[in-house]
Structure 1
């Protein structure tokens, strides 16, 4: 896991601007604390920061195909989980290898298959290949968009990076925000392509970008398709198939030459995953081997917990029970709620995200959790995406959400939770949401003969997998990599996602509840209390002193002229006057985003073109 960056120009020689690629690369040091390097050529400058996970001495980057006169140079981030099979296949095709790294497998795979390389890779990845002789840049992003990849035009070409902050170290790219960017950020629609930053775009998940003298070409090599569920796959067969696919994904992602652990929240997703990992580890290393597992809690949670729209219970007892049931080396990282008010922690989170939009204390606590885990482990596996894959969110089951003519999460995290913007900006976010929703539904694939229920549920799942999940993956990537921790997400295995997406809703909900297939597939892997526990979101502190401190931070934020120019004070100030113990979750999140906006403006000092 690493950070990549660089630029290509057909008008300038990057070899005369070595300090620029050095500066771009250094911004990504948290993503790659173990090593860094650059490569300079006539038209390309390539940078890399490395978090060493596989083949510690052999995976040095940027990686040329040969040291003296390279034809191809690679800067790669991520993990390719089928690299052993690909290495054997490429050897049979005549390729020689000098390392054990998956990086070299990607390099040789490009030499064999060119722009079609991504279709041979299974994993999470974002990489850049500079083909010296063809004078061609290839950017590639994994199918679900687990690893980020951004780009922007520069004179005579383009620059790319794992994070926008690296682009802003290039003199041709300025941190500029216009009305379109604010709409993208605050509409909470999670488009990919455009970003909050004017001129900065993402490579699409499952997409490639090619730059040569003819210009820029983008292509999707993978996207969700609706296929008929196999006729022979009845309920029992489907459950067996799901268990096999989840287990295969988990087992393939267990490889590392560094300490590895699992995130165990006490929910069904992480518990089933951890059980599969623990079983495979014992099979490989011996019956006494125990995987480390981690949960997060707050020092006041047992006494202060109160249910809200996203949470129904206290996680820690379930996580502890699950760890004991599975036999993990389990730890609970207990955070002081008041530490979440520390502006240095919050600033670090905003800097990591490069965005004013997050979830406040839940981001800060995740960042601190990852910091504690990194003291012992370099790789963690997470249950992210199971809700999207198996229909776990309330909006899959709530008639009001199913009937709403808008993105379903907006019923929970819409205007009430997003920081309201100054009406004088006239951003027309309502119209933007309507237009985007119409386009999003038009992109949903369907099969012939779908019932009305199947048709609507396929829409809900497609929206969840192609939009809602993307912001969760961004969050997990940015906050983990800011601590130098690699987080893997087995439920994002594209074969599992494809199979589940094409499975009828009647099978996904056969027991009348959320995640029926995963619950059935996890039988025997988790305690019954966990298997039948309702969906619970990431925990938040409920301490009234935290809420009181948050109100103070938001008051300070509103004292900033730029914040007042962007925020609607008339809707924010009542939240400041509410007694802390009565502050609702949505209004609290509104204050969190005011604080984050002030920190983002102060750090990036963007040019606002409104």
Structure 2
């Protein structure tokens, strides 16, 4: 695990080693154990290393026998042992025990097709000196991020966007074209990036530079063909076997390893299968919040304790009352881009806690997107029931819903929030109803906010829906999530927040073979009669007790909405004050004032919308104004006090 970066000069100029070193200095947190670079005239590749496998011999860049191929790779190749044995049988001679070295030998034999043989999470850069060709790529699901910047003189890449700001002549600028999309979704979807002139390489994508020509192509897509004629029991057996194998494969490590444990289905399954394949107790880590009723809703520690006892783990947990004012600037610097998902705070805190003991952690991220674990996947199920009501009754319910109170941090008001969202969208098409569940702000609200109208013809959700490849509503929802929110929100924050503390986070539920298996499964077996994750829960019935399998789902976030009405109200008011908003020149103050007032009065749950605006302002102070995160934090703390 590490951070990679590099440059290829399109104008033929030599790459300076000092520039590569400066890029690496920015991402030292990703690889505090080692660094390395290779410069060959107009191309240079480099890395910062967090040593996980082959601690002594895995220094990068790696090269082949005659020094004509050079590689830097961030991530882990889980099937490297099998590939290594196969390649050695074919005559390959390995210099190291590194999992990444298999990429070099596969490329020598298979060319660009080598990427299809890899099971892992990765981004890589491979320099082919004979062809004077640079090849960079990203894993199928998008677990590891990769940013690209290109102009007339050069193409540069880096695991973190901030490393590109170390290039000569580059300064941080906001791309105004992505602001509306960011507000709509709460994150910047690939290939967009908040920095002008920078883009994300999409998941499962390769990019080559040869003879001054840049070529980019997708090498894998989520399967769209559903396999029919398979019994439910056979699906259950397949899911169970692949789940266990995915966890077993991802336990390979030469350093201490642990697992996040919330007590939910996904993290509990990971821990249970880890325990089966370990001769030592698994180390598990959980987080809870101190405070009142709102904090208690996010406290899953009793469930985590239940699972820890069940599998005899060495369990540690932490109760926190986050200093959000101090954390936000620091974490947004690490994130590179603003986002409206409070899970980035929780993920950072539990990662920091686990890093006291381990360098590798396994997470349950991805199970909901594969097997249908979110309440929003039931929209079609309940819409069918609602359509049986008389038209006048449906219209009346939709009208009444607009006036219901809404607050996700109160049990009763959260139920009203969910009912309000469902009733308000029940008459929409399947795609537009799903958009209403995903959006942080409706497009009409974004238009009211923006001083300059958005010029983006199609947004990320529209493109993902158009490319979903199926008309089944549930399969479409899962396909859209796999293309958008999963890589560009959940996986991005998981990577950035764990690597902020030099912790490698693995996601066995997103093993690409398990992803392909889930995609080929009929929708009716994933969500059955209103039961979310039906097939996964049935597969885990021999591993987990029913009180864990069928417990009420809770998001891995923070009670931010409640804090914004209480102790963080001064922070909200300061960051969205009229003089601040006017100075940025992006938004209309009356629209912001309405959002704030409606949230404080619980007319809406505006948590994500307000956090999107607040985080954009904090991000701007760091990157656009060129201030240190600690300086921004000190200023904000003085206002809150």
TM-score of the two chains, using structure 2 as the length reference: 0.84
* Distance 1:579-1:443 versus aligned 2 partners, 3 A rule: closer
**C-alpha distance after superposition, 1:273-327 (max 9, x if no partner):** 110111111xxx2xxx2101111101125x54476xxxxx741111111111122
Asked if 1 retains the 8 angstrom alpha-carbon contact of 2:263 and 2:301, the reply is yes
Asked if 2 retains the 8 angstrom alpha-carbon contact of 1:74 and 1:127, the reply is yes
Q: Secondary structure of 2:174's match? A: strand
Q: 2: distance between equivalents of 1:110 and 1:506?
A: 41
Q: 1: distance between equivalents of 2:497 and 2:38?
A: 28
* Distance 1:192-1:206 versus aligned 2 partners, 3 A rule: same
Q: 1: distance between equivalents of 2:30 and 2:172?
A: 21
What is residue 373 of structure 1 aligned with on the other side?
354
Match of 2:606 among 587, 590, 606: 587
What is residue 552 of structure 2 aligned with on the other side?
534
* CA drift at 1:183: 3.1
What is residue 400 of structure 2 aligned with on the other side?
none
1:340 aligns with 2:364: no
* Distance 1:6-1:545 versus aligned 2 partners, 3 A rule: closer
What is residue 586 of structure 2 aligned with on the other side?
566
Q: 1: distance between equivalents of 2:533 and 2:367?
A: 8
1:508 aligns with 2:526: yes
Match of 1:206 among 196, 200, 204: 204
* Distance 1:209-1:319 versus aligned 2 partners, 3 A rule: same
* CA drift at 1:30: 0.9
* Distance 1:585-1:371 versus aligned 2 partners, 3 A rule: farther
Asked if 1 retains the 8 angstrom alpha-carbon contact of 2:148 and 2:200, the reply is yes
Q: Secondary structure of 1:60's match? A: coil
What is residue 330 of structure 1 aligned with on the other side?
315
For residues 282-431 of structure 1, the aligned pairs below 5 Å read: 285=279, 289-300=280-291, 303-305=293-295, 314-337=299-322, 339-342=323-326, 345-360=327-342, 362-398=343-379, 399=383, 400=422, 403-406=429-432, 408=434, 410-411=436-437, 413-415=439-441, 423=449, 425-428=451-454
* CA drift at 1:413: 4.0
Q: 2: distance between equivalents of 1:253 and 1:111?
A: 26
* Distance 1:498-1:489 versus aligned 2 partners, 3 A rule: same
* CA drift at 1:525: 1.6
Q: 1: distance between equivalents of 2:103 and 2:450?
A: 50
1:80 aligns with 2:77: yes
**C-alpha distance after superposition, 1:393-424 (max 9, x if no partner):** 11211235684443725425421799957745
* CA drift at 1:127: 0.2
Structure 1 range deviating more: 319-328 or 473-482:
319-328
Match of 2:276 among 274, 279, 282: 279
What is residue 464 of structure 1 aligned with on the other side?
481
Q: 2: distance between equivalents of 1:462 and 1:227?
A: 12
What is residue 7 of structure 2 aligned with on the other side?
7
**C-alpha distance after superposition, 1:151-205 (max 9, x if no partner):** 1114433100001111111124432223322234223175322222222122221
* CA drift at 1:86: 0.5
Q: 2: distance between equivalents of 1:203 and 1:579?
A: 36
* CA drift at 1:491: 1.0
* Distance 1:165-1:230 versus aligned 2 partners, 3 A rule: same
Structure 1 range deviating more: 145-154 or 169-178:
169-178
Q: 2: distance between equivalents of 1:321 and 1:300?
A: 22
Q: Secondary structure of 1:107's match? A: helix
Asked if 1 retains the 8 angstrom alpha-carbon contact of 2:581 and 2:589, the reply is no
Asked if 2 retains the 8 angstrom alpha-carbon contact of 1:263 and 1:270, the reply is yes
Structure 1 residue runs of 5 or longer lacking an equivalent are 308-312, 447-453
**C-alpha distance after superposition, 1:542-581 (max 9, x if no partner):** 796664332211222234356652234223335656796x
* Distance 1:544-1:238 versus aligned 2 partners, 3 A rule: closer
1:43 aligns with 2:39: no
1:218 aligns with 2:216: yes
Asked if 1 retains the 8 angstrom alpha-carbon contact of 2:495 and 2:505, the reply is yes
Q: 2: distance between equivalents of 1:587 and 1:316?
A: 27
* CA drift at 1:501: 1.0
**C-alpha distance after superposition, 1:235-280 (max 9, x if no partner):** 1111010000111110000011111111111111111111011111
TM-score of the two chains, using structure 1 as the length reference: 0.88
How many residue pairs get aligned? The number is: 577
Asked if 2 retains the 8 angstrom alpha-carbon contact of 1:416 and 1:587, the reply is no
Asked if 2 retains the 8 angstrom alpha-carbon contact of 1:208 and 1:221, the reply is yes
Asked if 2 retains the 8 angstrom alpha-carbon contact of 1:395 and 1:408, the reply is yes
For residues 19-58 of structure 1, the aligned pairs below 5 Å read: 19-58=18-57
* Distance 1:316-1:100 versus aligned 2 partners, 3 A rule: same
What is residue 310 of structure 1 aligned with on the other side?
none
How large is the RMSD of aligned CA atoms in angstroms? 2.6
Asked if 2 retains the 8 angstrom alpha-carbon contact of 1:177 and 1:198, the reply is yes
Q: Secondary structure of 2:95's match? A: coil
Q: 2: distance between equivalents of 1:13 and 1:304?
A: 58
* CA drift at 1:490: 0.8
What is residue 451 of structure 1 aligned with on the other side?
none
Asked if 2 retains the 8 angstrom alpha-carbon contact of 1:143 and 1:205, the reply is yes
What is residue 391 of structure 2 aligned with on the other side?
none
What is residue 450 of structure 1 aligned with on the other side?
none
For residues 414-563 of structure 1, the aligned pairs below 5 Å read: 414-415=440-441, 423=449, 425-428=451-454, 432=457, 436-446=460-470, 455-470=472-487, 471-510=489-528, 512-541=530-559, 547-557=565-575, 558=577, 559-560=579-580
Asked if 2 retains the 8 angstrom alpha-carbon contact of 1:130 and 1:136, the reply is yes
Q: Secondary structure of 2:605's match? A: helix
Q: Secondary structure of 2:324's match? A: helix
Asked if 2 retains the 8 angstrom alpha-carbon contact of 1:406 and 1:437, the reply is no
Q: 2: distance between equivalents of 1:575 and 1:545?
A: 16
